[in-house]
């Protein structure tokens, strides 16, 4: 992998990780367009570089994460409540992910699945937008129930399918249980950071020898920095703009990209995997 390819992959990861468009799908498509091989080391690299997105969340939500830390050590009742809900949602997703990981990697990691998921997710966005405008949420993170956390964890598990978008389904889950849009967005970001931290750590340790053999330190560092900067800028933009403009533009984007990918696959410009 060249430095230029690593830079591009890092930017793609950072820009798409927290947008409701599926970073996994975008990385898979970008990898195919660049002609890179989907080896185990490369797949692990794509997950490990998500550490940049984790750093972005820490920077954007430093105050909220500090409140969680105070809750863990018993200094904030509200922080403890939110931390428990995050851990419950994460545990639900982890159990499902570890159980189905092999099947998902073998059966679902291809661009036909991604393209279909992009289109279905785009249509789902319009339903979510209608829901939140007709039945806006009123609950804060501190009042989230354990059942609500379980539901969001189950919905995040759906995003194990590439192309679905973890941020989209967790945001939808938050809205369904009555959270305000800003609270649902914050929980989505925090849960995403925790999930990515676990996934990045697991894949880095498991495939450390493959990573060292296939990815030189310089491209890895460039990709990590690119992912961190682009993800941080993206999160800051979302916090300021998403409530104002809504999710609909991402619905149209997903549908257009899904149809374009199907066209490229049908014309054999790119291969399914």
- In a domain, residue 233? The reply is yes
Q: Can you give the pLDDT at residue 75?
A: 79
- In a domain, residue 271? The reply is no
Q: Can you give the pLDDT at residue 93?
A: 92
- In a domain, residue 43? The reply is yes
Q: Can you give the pLDDT at residue 23?
A: 84
Report pTM: 0.84
Q: Can you give the pLDDT at residue 273?
A: 61
pLDDT tens-digit profile, the chain (273 residues): 788 888 888 888 888 888 888 888 888 888 888 887 777 667 667 776 777 777 777 776 677 777 777 877 777 788 888 889 999 999 999 999 888 878 887 777 788 999 999 999 999 999 988 888 888 778 888 888 999 999 999 999 998 888 898 889 999 999 989 898 888 888 888 888 888 888 777 777 877 777 777 777 788 788 888 888 888 888 777 767 776 778 888 999 999 999 999 999 998 877 766
Please name which of 159, 92, 86 lies closest in space to residue 124, comparing C-alpha atoms: 159
Residues pairing with 139 in the sheet: 179
Q: Can you give the pLDDT at residue 219?
A: 80
Q: Residue 223 corresponds to which tokens in the numbers above?
A: 């990709």
- In a domain, residue 161? The reply is yes
- In a domain, residue 69? The reply is yes
Whether the CB-CB separation of 171 and 184 falls below 8 Å is answered with yes
Give the DSSP letter string of 162-220.
TTS-HHHHHHHHHHHTTB-HHHHHHHHHHHHHHHHHHHHHHHHHHTHHHHHHHS-HHHH
Q: Residue 137 corresponds to which tokens in the numbers above?
A: 């949420």
Tally of structural domains, the chain: 1
Q: Which domain holds residue 163?
A: 3-266
- In a domain, residue 273? The reply is no
From residue 65, alpha-carbon distances to 13, 58, 225, 242 in Å are: 22, 7, 22, 21
């Amino acid at each position: 992998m060249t430095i230029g390819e690593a830079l591009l992959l890092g930017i793609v990861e950072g820009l798409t990780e927290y947008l409701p468009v599926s970073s996994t799908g975008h990385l898979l498509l970008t990898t195919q367009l660049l002609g890179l091989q989907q080896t185990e080391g490369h797949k692990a690299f794509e997950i490990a570089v998500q550490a940049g997105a984790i750093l972005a969340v820490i920077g954007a939500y430093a105050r909220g994460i500090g409140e969680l830390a105070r809750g863990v050590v018993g200094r904030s009742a509200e922080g403890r409540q939110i931390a428990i809900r995050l851990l419950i949602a994460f545990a639900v997703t982890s159990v499902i992910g570890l159980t189905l990981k092999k099947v998902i990697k073998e059966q679902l990691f291809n661009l036909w699945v991604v393209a279909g998921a992009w289109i279905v997710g785009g249509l789902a966005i319009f339903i979510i937008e209608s829901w939140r405008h007709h039945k806006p949420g009123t609950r804060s993170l501190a009042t989230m129930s354990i059942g609500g956390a379980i539901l969001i964890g189950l919905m995040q598990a759906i995003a194990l399918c590439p192309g679905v978008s973890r941020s989209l389904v967790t945001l939808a889950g938050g809205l369904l249980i009555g959270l305000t849009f800003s609270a649902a967005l914050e929980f989505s970001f925090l849960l995403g950071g925790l999930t990515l931290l676990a996934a990045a750590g697991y894949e880095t340790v498991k495939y450390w020898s493959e990573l060292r053999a296939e990815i030189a330190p310089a491209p890895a560092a460039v990709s990590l920095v690119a992912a961190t900067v682009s993800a941080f800028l993206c999160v800051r933009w979302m916090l300021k703009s998403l409530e104002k403009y809504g999710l609909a533009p991402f619905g149209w984007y997903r549908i257009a990209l899904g149809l374009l990918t199907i066209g490229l696959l049908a014309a054999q410009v790119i291969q399914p995997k």
